Amino acid sequence: MGAATNNAFTGQDGWSNSSSSNAGTVVTTVTSGEYTGGQAISGGTATYIGANKNVTLSSNYNFDLRYGAGQEMGVGHWNDDDSDGLFDQAEAELQIGVISGTGGWYFGARYAGFGTRSWSDGAGSLVTGGPGVAGTAGDWYRFNVSYSPNGGNYDINVGIRNLSTGTDIDFDSGLLGVQSWSFIITAAQFGVAPASAEGLFIRTTTSGANGLIDNINTAVPEPSAALLGGLGLLGLLRRRRD
Protein backbone atom coordinates (compact mmCIF):
# COMPACT_ATOMS: atom_id res chain seq x y z
CA MET A 1 0.00 0.00 0.00
CA GLY A 2 1.33 3.42 -0.88
CA ALA A 3 1.36 6.22 1.64
CA ALA A 4 -2.04 7.87 1.84
CA THR A 5 -1.95 11.64 2.36
CA ASN A 6 -3.90 14.64 3.58
CA ASN A 7 -6.19 13.13 6.22
CA ALA A 8 -7.91 15.76 8.34
CA PHE A 9 -8.35 15.48 12.11
CA THR A 10 -12.12 15.61 11.92
CA GLY A 11 -12.95 12.32 13.68
CA GLN A 12 -14.38 12.07 17.16
CA ASP A 13 -12.15 13.42 19.96
CA GLY A 14 -9.46 14.57 17.58
CA TRP A 15 -8.81 11.40 15.59
CA SER A 16 -7.90 11.71 11.94
CA ASN A 17 -9.74 10.19 9.03
CA SER A 18 -8.40 6.81 8.00
CA SER A 19 -5.41 6.86 5.69
CA SER A 20 -6.13 3.31 4.58
CA SER A 21 -9.03 1.14 3.53
CA ASN A 22 -11.47 1.44 6.43
CA ALA A 23 -12.74 3.65 9.22
CA GLY A 24 -11.93 2.72 12.79
CA THR A 25 -14.70 1.39 15.00
CA VAL A 26 -15.08 0.63 18.71
CA VAL A 27 -16.06 -2.94 19.56
CA THR A 28 -16.94 -4.78 22.77
CA THR A 29 -14.35 -7.23 24.13
CA VAL A 30 -14.51 -10.03 26.69
CA THR A 31 -12.12 -10.83 29.52
CA SER A 32 -9.28 -13.17 28.61
CA GLY A 33 -6.96 -14.17 31.45
CA GLU A 34 -5.30 -10.98 32.73
CA TYR A 35 -6.98 -8.86 30.07
CA THR A 36 -10.18 -7.22 31.32
CA GLY A 37 -12.92 -6.97 28.75
CA GLY A 38 -14.45 -3.66 27.78
CA GLN A 39 -13.99 -1.91 24.46
CA ALA A 40 -11.20 -1.80 21.86
CA ILE A 41 -10.45 -0.25 18.50
CA SER A 42 -11.06 -2.32 15.39
CA GLY A 43 -10.39 -1.83 11.71
CA GLY A 44 -13.86 -3.15 10.96
CA THR A 45 -13.38 -5.64 8.13
CA ALA A 46 -10.16 -4.08 6.87
CA THR A 47 -7.39 -1.67 7.99
CA TYR A 48 -7.66 1.57 9.95
CA ILE A 49 -4.61 3.82 10.15
CA GLY A 50 -5.22 7.06 11.98
CA ALA A 51 -3.54 9.62 14.21
CA ASN A 52 -4.43 11.85 17.11
CA LYS A 53 -2.50 14.98 18.05
CA ASN A 54 -4.05 15.43 21.50
CA VAL A 55 -1.77 12.82 23.10
CA THR A 56 1.91 11.96 22.61
CA LEU A 57 3.88 8.89 23.62
CA SER A 58 6.51 9.16 26.36
CA SER A 59 9.78 7.23 26.50
CA ASN A 60 7.89 4.51 28.37
CA TYR A 61 4.48 3.40 27.18
CA ASN A 62 2.38 0.27 26.85
CA PHE A 63 -0.64 -1.00 25.01
CA ASP A 64 -2.68 -4.18 24.61
CA LEU A 65 -3.11 -5.93 21.28
CA ARG A 66 -5.19 -8.91 20.29
CA TYR A 67 -3.09 -10.90 17.88
CA GLY A 68 -4.51 -11.67 14.48
CA ALA A 69 -2.49 -13.87 12.14
CA GLY A 70 -2.05 -12.11 8.80
CA GLN A 71 -2.87 -8.73 10.32
CA GLU A 72 -0.26 -5.97 10.65
CA MET A 73 -0.98 -3.63 13.53
CA GLY A 74 0.68 -1.50 16.15
CA VAL A 75 1.21 1.86 17.84
CA GLY A 76 3.71 4.61 17.09
CA HIS A 77 4.28 8.33 17.26
CA TRP A 78 3.47 10.87 14.58
CA ASN A 79 4.87 14.24 13.58
CA ASP A 80 3.46 16.76 11.09
CA ASP A 81 6.68 16.96 9.07
CA ASP A 82 5.24 19.15 6.32
CA SER A 83 3.28 21.37 8.76
CA ASP A 84 0.03 21.06 6.79
CA GLY A 85 -2.06 20.05 9.81
CA LEU A 86 -2.97 16.72 8.19
CA PHE A 87 -1.97 13.10 8.82
CA ASP A 88 0.10 11.35 6.17
CA GLN A 89 1.42 7.81 6.50
CA ALA A 90 4.84 9.07 5.43
CA GLU A 91 4.89 11.12 8.66
CA ALA A 92 4.50 8.04 10.88
CA GLU A 93 7.55 7.41 13.08
CA LEU A 94 8.69 4.14 14.73
CA GLN A 95 5.83 1.64 15.10
CA ILE A 96 5.88 -1.33 17.50
CA GLY A 97 3.42 -4.21 17.17
CA VAL A 98 2.85 -7.11 14.80
CA ILE A 99 4.42 -6.83 11.37
CA SER A 100 4.56 -8.80 8.15
CA GLY A 101 7.79 -10.81 7.97
CA THR A 102 9.31 -13.64 6.00
CA GLY A 103 6.76 -16.43 5.93
CA GLY A 104 4.66 -15.11 8.79
CA TRP A 105 3.53 -12.34 11.12
CA TYR A 106 5.85 -11.50 14.00
CA PHE A 107 6.23 -9.22 17.00
CA GLY A 108 8.34 -6.48 15.50
CA ALA A 109 8.96 -2.89 14.50
CA ARG A 110 8.41 -0.77 11.42
CA TYR A 111 10.77 2.12 10.93
CA ALA A 112 9.86 5.76 10.35
CA GLY A 113 7.81 6.64 7.28
CA PHE A 114 6.26 3.16 7.09
CA GLY A 115 9.74 1.98 6.19
CA THR A 116 11.71 -1.24 6.78
CA ARG A 117 10.21 -3.97 8.94
CA SER A 118 12.40 -5.78 11.48
CA TRP A 119 11.85 -8.40 14.16
CA SER A 120 13.62 -10.67 16.62
CA ASP A 121 14.78 -14.08 15.43
CA GLY A 122 14.12 -15.46 18.92
CA ALA A 123 17.85 -15.87 19.55
CA GLY A 124 18.76 -12.30 20.44
CA SER A 125 19.30 -10.86 16.96
CA LEU A 126 17.45 -8.15 15.03
CA VAL A 127 16.60 -9.42 11.53
CA THR A 128 14.75 -8.34 8.40
CA GLY A 129 14.47 -11.84 6.96
CA GLY A 130 13.81 -15.37 8.17
CA PRO A 131 11.48 -16.60 10.92
CA GLY A 132 10.61 -14.59 14.01
CA VAL A 133 8.64 -14.74 17.25
CA ALA A 134 4.91 -15.03 16.60
CA GLY A 135 1.80 -14.95 18.75
CA THR A 136 -1.40 -16.98 18.96
CA ALA A 137 -4.40 -15.70 17.06
CA GLY A 138 -7.08 -14.40 19.40
CA ASP A 139 -4.79 -14.02 22.45
CA TRP A 140 -4.26 -10.62 24.09
CA TYR A 141 -0.70 -9.31 24.51
CA ARG A 142 0.65 -6.36 26.47
CA PHE A 143 3.54 -4.47 24.87
CA ASN A 144 5.77 -2.56 27.30
CA VAL A 145 7.99 -0.24 25.25
CA SER A 146 10.86 1.96 26.37
CA TYR A 147 13.58 3.81 24.53
CA SER A 148 16.62 5.96 25.28
CA PRO A 149 18.92 7.96 22.99
CA ASN A 150 22.44 6.60 22.62
CA GLY A 151 24.64 8.94 20.61
CA GLY A 152 23.20 8.95 17.09
CA ASN A 153 21.15 5.84 17.80
CA TYR A 154 18.30 4.69 20.02
CA ASP A 155 18.23 1.75 22.42
CA ILE A 156 14.81 0.09 22.29
CA ASN A 157 13.42 -2.42 24.77
CA VAL A 158 10.13 -4.25 24.25
CA GLY A 159 8.71 -6.66 26.80
CA ILE A 160 5.62 -8.59 25.73
CA ARG A 161 3.30 -10.59 27.96
CA ASN A 162 0.57 -12.93 26.82
CA LEU A 163 -2.30 -11.71 28.99
CA SER A 164 -4.54 -14.58 27.95
CA THR A 165 -2.15 -17.22 29.31
CA GLY A 166 -0.26 -15.16 31.89
CA THR A 167 3.16 -15.84 30.35
CA ASP A 168 5.98 -13.56 29.17
CA ILE A 169 7.45 -13.89 25.68
CA ASP A 170 11.12 -14.96 25.53
CA PHE A 171 13.11 -13.24 22.81
CA ASP A 172 16.44 -14.99 23.40
CA SER A 173 16.33 -18.75 23.79
CA GLY A 174 20.11 -18.85 24.32
CA LEU A 175 19.95 -17.12 27.71
CA LEU A 176 18.51 -18.26 31.00
CA GLY A 177 15.18 -16.78 32.00
CA VAL A 178 12.70 -14.79 29.96
CA GLN A 179 14.39 -12.08 27.88
CA SER A 180 12.71 -8.97 26.52
CA TRP A 181 13.45 -7.78 22.99
CA SER A 182 16.30 -5.25 22.98
CA PHE A 183 17.75 -3.69 19.85
CA ILE A 184 19.45 -0.57 18.53
CA ILE A 185 18.36 1.51 15.54
CA THR A 186 19.56 4.77 14.04
CA ALA A 187 17.93 8.12 14.65
CA ALA A 188 16.74 8.13 11.03
CA GLN A 189 15.04 4.74 11.49
CA PHE A 190 13.50 5.90 14.76
CA GLY A 191 12.16 9.19 13.44
CA VAL A 192 11.24 12.22 15.54
CA ALA A 193 11.45 11.39 19.24
CA PRO A 194 8.04 11.00 20.92
CA ALA A 195 8.82 13.90 23.26
CA SER A 196 9.13 16.16 20.21
CA ALA A 197 6.36 14.56 18.14
CA GLU A 198 2.89 16.02 17.77
CA GLY A 199 0.84 12.93 18.49
CA LEU A 200 0.46 9.19 18.11
CA PHE A 201 -0.95 6.90 15.45
CA ILE A 202 -2.37 3.40 15.42
CA ARG A 203 -2.73 0.76 12.78
CA THR A 204 -5.23 -2.03 13.25
CA THR A 205 -6.30 -4.66 10.77
CA THR A 206 -9.27 -6.82 11.68
CA SER A 207 -10.22 -10.10 10.07
CA GLY A 208 -12.06 -12.89 11.84
CA ALA A 209 -12.60 -10.56 14.84
CA ASN A 210 -9.00 -10.95 16.05
CA GLY A 211 -6.87 -7.86 15.43
CA LEU A 212 -7.72 -5.21 18.07
CA ILE A 213 -5.88 -2.53 20.08
CA ASP A 214 -6.77 -1.43 23.61
CA ASN A 215 -5.38 0.31 26.70
CA ILE A 216 -2.75 2.63 25.25
CA ASN A 217 -1.12 4.17 28.33
CA THR A 218 1.38 7.01 28.17
CA ALA A 219 2.43 9.90 30.42
CA VAL A 220 1.47 13.23 28.80
CA PRO A 221 2.78 14.78 31.01
CA GLU A 222 0.90 13.60 34.10
CA PRO A 223 -0.97 11.62 35.07
CA SER A 224 -0.99 8.82 32.48
CA ALA A 225 -3.41 9.26 29.66
CA ALA A 226 -5.44 6.16 28.88
CA LEU A 227 -7.06 5.36 25.58
CA LEU A 228 -9.86 2.82 25.77
CA GLY A 229 -9.45 1.07 29.10
CA GLY A 230 -12.97 -0.30 28.80
CA LEU A 231 -14.57 3.07 28.07
CA GLY A 232 -13.98 3.39 24.37
CA LEU A 233 -11.06 4.76 22.37
CA LEU A 234 -12.99 7.62 20.87
CA GLY A 235 -14.52 8.79 24.10
CA LEU A 236 -11.68 8.57 26.63
CA LEU A 237 -8.90 10.46 24.91
CA ARG A 238 -7.58 13.05 27.31
CA ARG A 239 -6.34 16.29 25.87
CA ARG A 240 -2.70 17.18 26.37
CA ARG A 241 -2.22 19.66 29.20
CA ASP A 242 -0.18 22.79 28.64
pLDDT of residue 225: 47
**Which ranges of the chain would DSSP assign to H, the alpha helix?**
187-190, 233-236
Sequence ranges of the domains in the chain: 12-236
What CA–CA distance (Å, rounded) separates 52 from 55?
Answer: 7
- How far apart, in Å, do the first and last CA atoms of the chain sit? 37
Residue 145 in contact with residue 65, Cβ under 8 Å? no
Burial of 176: CB neighbours in 10 Å, binned 0-12, 13-18, 19+: exposed
What CA–CA distance (Å, rounded) separates 185 from 127?
Answer: 12
What does the CA dihedral 73, 207, 89, 9 come to, rounded to 10 degrees? -100
Show pLDDT as tens, one digit a residue, over the chain (242 residues). Answer: 334 556 777 666 677 767 666 667 788 899 999 999 998 888 766 677 788 888 888 889 999 999 987 888 999 988 888 888 888 888 889 999 999 888 889 999 999 888 899 999 999 899 999 999 999 999 999 999 999 999 889 999 999 999 999 999 999 988 888 999 999 999 999 998 877 888 888 888 766 567 899 999 976 344 344 454 443 443 333 333 33
pLDDT of residue 91: 85
Q: Give me the long-range contacts of 77-81 (CB less than 8 A, separation at least 24).
A: 77/191, 77/192, 77/193, 77/194, 77/197, 77/199, 77/200, 77/201, 78/51, 78/53, 78/197, 78/198, 78/199, 78/200, 78/201, 79/191, 79/192, 79/196, 79/197, 79/198, 79/199, 80/53, 80/198, 81/192
